[in-house]
Amino acid sequence: MSDAQHGEVFYIRSKRWKRKERATAVQHLGAAIMLIATGWTHLTSHVAHHDSMVFALLPYAEIAAGATLIASNIVERVRHRRGHHSSIGWVEIAGALMTLIEAVARLYEPHTLALRIASFVPVPVLFILGLLHVRMQQRYYWKSDDDAFESRMRWSRAVRVAWPTIAGYRVEARQLELLRHDGSVQIVPLRDVDNRDEALQWLHDALGRRGVARAS
């Protein structure tokens, strides 16, 4: 992978991020099933015949929102297995829609004003996360530019090592070691790298083009 402005970039797939996405998907599916069940209960009871048009349509909206979220999860999993990645997190967008329907439903239920307001708070958050889906996935990376090798394995900071200071490198089971001419070692963790084989191949090629040899 490359970026003409910032040099060659390889995006790291994080195991922690992958586990988090799976856990979020399970939570969303559970919430979707409950929302569909709630909508069906409202639809088959006297509540569906409420005088308010909005409240009368809520059961249909609840069922549709829950079904949309389940379908989005299935489509995303199929796309990931085929190696395709959407630029937008449709699961998060569907989750925002479902949360919005739940929040609207609470307006017609006996809840406090604070709870009703709080119910709407997650909606814009999920929507923004959906729009920033690609950026969130690409927050971990390795980069090779004209000046240095850069590694971002944490959200808070990146580590840069200037090419003239690197004498060689060594790959261990859990970490990459960049050996400096002054004898110090810069550690780059590998435990969280899900696409390890592809990452190491990119690393060998990138460092090799800079004349950095692998230490024995």
What's CA 168's distance to the chain center, in Å? 33
Question: Looking at the domain assignment, is residue 2 inside a domain?
Answer: no
Owning domain of residue 159: 142-209
What tens digit of pLDDT does each residue of 33-47 get? 888 888 888 777 755
pLDDT category, 55, cuts 50, 70, 90? low
- In a shared domain, residues 127 and 170: no
Q: Would 94 be classed as within a structural domain? A: yes
User: Which of 77, 109, 137 marks a domain boundary?
Assistant: 137
Asked if residue 5 belongs to a domain, the reply is no
* pLDDT of 179 above 60: yes
Which 8-state DSSP code applies to residue 210? T
Q: How confident is the model at residue 29 (pLDDT cuts 50, 70, 90)?
A: confident
Same domain, yes or no: 158 and 133? no
Residue 45's pLDDT is: 74
Does the residue 214 lie in any domain? no
Query: Tens digit of pLDDT for each residue in 101-153?
Result: 888 888 877 888 888 888 899 888 888 888 776 666 678 899 999 999 999 98
Q: Check whether residue 108 and residue 174 sit in a common domain.
A: no
Q: What is the pLDDT of residues 70-111, one digit of tens each?
A: 888 888 778 777 766 666 777 788 888 888 888 888 887 788
pLDDT, residue 4, reads 36
> pLDDT averaged over the chain?
83
**Quick check: is 35 in a domain?**
yes
Residue 3 in this model has a pLDDT that exceeds 50: no
| Nearest partner of 149 among 77, 83, 212, judged by Cα | 212
Domain boundary among 91, 118, 137: 137
In-domain check, residue 200: yes
In this structure, are 59 and 121 located in the same domain?
yes
d(CA 194, CA 211): 27
Please indicate, yes or no, whether residues 97 and 201 belong to a single structural domain of this protein: no
Report the half-sphere exposure of 85 (CA within 13 A, side-chain side): 10
Query: Do 45 and 105 sit in the same domain of this protein?
Result: yes
